[in-house]
Amino acid sequence: MKSKVYYISVKNLEDDNSLKSKFELLLDKSGILKPIPDSISSVIKIHFGEEGNTGFIKPGFVKILAEKLINKKINSKLSDSNTLYKGRRTNSGDHTNLAMEHGFSLDSTLCKIEIPEDKIKENTITIPLNGNFIKNAHVLKLYKETPFIIAMSHFKGHIMTGFGGSLKNIGMGCASREGKLAQHSDLSPVIYKDNCTGCGECIKVCPVNAITEG
């Protein structure tokens, strides 16, 4: 059975207050929160945005969702996982600070931020799947132990899949470091010697210092 997809009409340069009102109406009319039992805990799975970018869901929209959940006596955390690549989302401390710089806080979203440090083994868990491509899912324990996960996903262009949205937000975004490596395991670096200018930028950004100048 196909899922129903609900849309709201958005005009060019429409202000945030108008969009927030429409978002709240969408939550009410769609009944999307009705399947969630009252008085449980949940995780709102989100992307806090990369440093220097604005391509993320604004905290005000999270607050509207959180208010609806609070009315159902649902305690929600706002969460994401750390990245493999270098940057300010590669460890929980820097990642949390970046989220706060982008406006995510208890005041602005009504949710505490929890970004588990996946370098700590106790924060991860392996789930047997025996799928066609992934035999064992390596995920953060927080997501396995939470009764309900709500994905708030912005979509963006993706070099391999066309677009990344909720499937990527959950499939890759809930994975531990080991899980992310497994999902990328069929990819290997390719060097085009004729295109190399010797700038050394690849050496700077390699997270495992695997590239040397020679």
**pLDDT tens per residue, range 48-96:** 999 999 999 999 999 999 999 999 999 999 999 999 888 899 999 999 9
User: How high does pLDDT run on average in the chain?
Assistant: 92
Percent share of the chain, pLDDT over 90: 71
pTM for this prediction: 0.85
Number of domains composing the chain: 2
pLDDT over 80 (residue 126): yes
* 31 conformational bin, left if phi > 0, alpha if psi -120 to 50, beta if neither: left
Residue 159 has pLDDT above 80, yes or no: no
Please, are residues 75 and 43 in contact by the beta-carbon 8 Å criterion? no
- Predicted pLDDT of residue 189: 74
Does 18 share its domain with 71? Answer: no
Please report which confidence band the pLDDT of residue 205 belongs to, taking 50, 70 and 90 as the band edges. Answer: confident
Query: Are both 9 and 47 inside the same structural domain?
Result: no
d(CA 69, CA 196): 52
Domain check: are 20 and 62 in the same one?
Answer: no
Identify whether residues 156 and 126 lie together within a single domain: yes
Residues near 75 by beta carbon (within 8 Å), at least 6 away in sequence? 40, 41, 42
pLDDT, residue 74, reads 97
